[in-house]
């Protein structure tokens, strides 16, 4: 499934790019889809740019500015994003009342950098100013002459000023004269559409896991089973665990380990973000069905060749064995972005290490490479009948998953 994000560069006074504003797009048409509510657009943007493609890749490792409406702040989905490399743009629709002040103050104390978007002065905003790093002024709606008297107040709090919708050299020059720090607009360049790939996930499946995690005391085992059956969710889960939000001393070698590491609250937030973004309502493509068979078969093979303790890692390896084909990105690039055990990465990138034998066996069986199958069977002294049984179980497991996805 193709995903689209627009980015518009933000320049300093020397016309150097110092950040990008990220904008939600539904397709290659370079404009915001008016029928999409702001909170849904923000959730989709987070999924597309943060959990699917990778924020650093989209912004060239520069800060990313993302719009947040009040609904998203209320739902605390903002806490899903890494505070170190984004700037939260507080939409002009947010009222400067007690509720928004409380939400924004919490974000400030958690380390987030905050910007006021399309800012129009109202004295009710003054108590917010110590919390704000950046003010964006739409110079088409609020001309420089209206902003100039307020600049001493903003500088008192060391707030940076950004002029947006700058369309001429004269507007750029005026902004520099007033000592604006940053500039954005068509004078420099239009938003650029970036295209990537996301992994499709059944809407029914998402609603099922959503229903489970919203229970007061959900079952970790059931949640693990949901992730075991969906490569897309697992990929996003591991990207989330590997974000700058978390620090972990050990590599993640199983889905269960990732879920336990996050805990109930973070898992709920993660699932809520994915569901809010309303990922693909269609059935998984054939490639993902095959991947699920391979994952289960790798798990069986690990047990068959004496790697019972590594069976969870083998499943995860099988689940990611086709991720390069799904995302059209090099396997090494993807592995570098995930907190997987080095044994899993070695097997997937270089076909090296003990887990690689499970991967080789699964590929040989599923491709009908019987000479390779015979070599593996003889090397590990495996009963061929047991291998056939494992393969049949993997096929049935995949069919059961497909059947569950077609219900409702």
Domains and CATH numbers, the chain: 2-196 (3.20.20.450), 199-276 (no CATH), 286-406 (no CATH)
Alpha-carbon distance of 255 to 258, in angstroms, equals: 5
pLDDT of residue 130: 96
Tokens of 383: 């009963």
Alpha-carbon distance of 112 to 366, in angstroms, equals: 48
pLDDT of residue 406: 45
pLDDT of residue 197: 57
CA distances from 340 to 12, 300, 320, 343 (A): 38, 20, 10, 8
pLDDT of residue 281: 40
Tokens of 343: 């044994």
Query: pTM (2 decimals)?
Result: 0.59
Residue in 239, 321, 328 with CA at minimum distance from that of residue 56: 239
pLDDT of residue 192: 67
Cα 253 off chain centre by: 20
Buried b (16+ CB within 10 A) or exposed e, 45-61: bbbbbbbbbbbeebbee
Q: Please enumerate in sequence order all residues whose Cβ is within 8 A of that of 2, keeping only pairs 6 or more positions apart, or say none.
A: 195, 196, 197, 198
pLDDT < 70 regions, the chain: 1-4, 24-36, 39-55, 57, 75-84, 192-208, 210-211, 214-216, 243-249, 269, 272-288, 326-328, 337-339, 398-408
């Amino acid at each position: 499934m193709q995903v689209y994000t627009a980015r518009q560069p933000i320049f300093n006074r020397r016309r150097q790019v110092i950040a990008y504003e990220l904008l939600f797009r539904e397709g290659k048409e370079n404009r915001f889809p008016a029928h999409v509510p702001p909170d849904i657009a923000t959730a989709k943007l987070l999924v597309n740019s943060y959990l699917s493609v990778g924020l650093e890749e989209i912004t060239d490792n520069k800060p990313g500015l993302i719009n947040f409406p009040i609904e998203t702040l209320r739902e605390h989905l903002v806490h899903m994003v890494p505070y170190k490399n984004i700037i939260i743009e507080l939409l002009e629709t947010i009222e400067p009342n007690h509720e928004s002040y409380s939400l924004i103050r919490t974000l400030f104390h958690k380390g987030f950098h905050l910007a006021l978007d399309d800012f129009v002065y109202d004295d009710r905003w003054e108590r917010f100013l110590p919390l704000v790093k950046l003010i964006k002024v739409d110079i088409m709606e609020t001309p420089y002459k209206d902003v100039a008297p307020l600049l001493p107040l903003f500088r008192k709090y060391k707030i940076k000023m950004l002029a947006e919708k700058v369309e001429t050299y004269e507007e750029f020059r005026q902004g520099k004269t007033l000592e604006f720090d940053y500039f954005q607009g068509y004078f420099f360049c239009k938003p650029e559409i970036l295209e990537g790939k996301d992994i499709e996930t059944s809407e029914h499946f998402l609603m099922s896991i959503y229903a489970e995690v919203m229970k007061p005391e959900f079952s970790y085992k059931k949640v693990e089973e949901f992730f075991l059956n969906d490569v897309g969710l697992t990929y996003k889960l591991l990207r989330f665990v590997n974000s700058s939000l978390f620090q972990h001393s050990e590599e993640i070698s199983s889905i269960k380990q990732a879920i336990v590491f996050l805990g109930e609250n973070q898992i709920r937030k993660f699932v809520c973000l994915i569901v809010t973004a309303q990922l693909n309502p269609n059935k998984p493509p054939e490639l993902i069905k095959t991947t699920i068979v391979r994952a289960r078969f790798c798990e069986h093979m690990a047990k068959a060749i004496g790697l019972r303790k590594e069976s969870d890692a083998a499943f995860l390896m099988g689940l990611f064995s086709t991720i390069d084909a799904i995302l059209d990105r090099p396997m090494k690039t993807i592995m570098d972005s995930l907190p997987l055990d080095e044994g899993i990465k070695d097997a997937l990138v270089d076909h090296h290490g003990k887990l690689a034998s499970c991967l080789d066996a699964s590929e040989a069986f599923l491709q009908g490479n019987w000479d390779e199958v015979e070599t593996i069977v003889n090397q590990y002294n495996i009963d061929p009948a047991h291998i056939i049984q494992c393969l049949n179980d993997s096929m049935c497991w995949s069919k059961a998953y497909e059947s569950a996805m077609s219900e409702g």
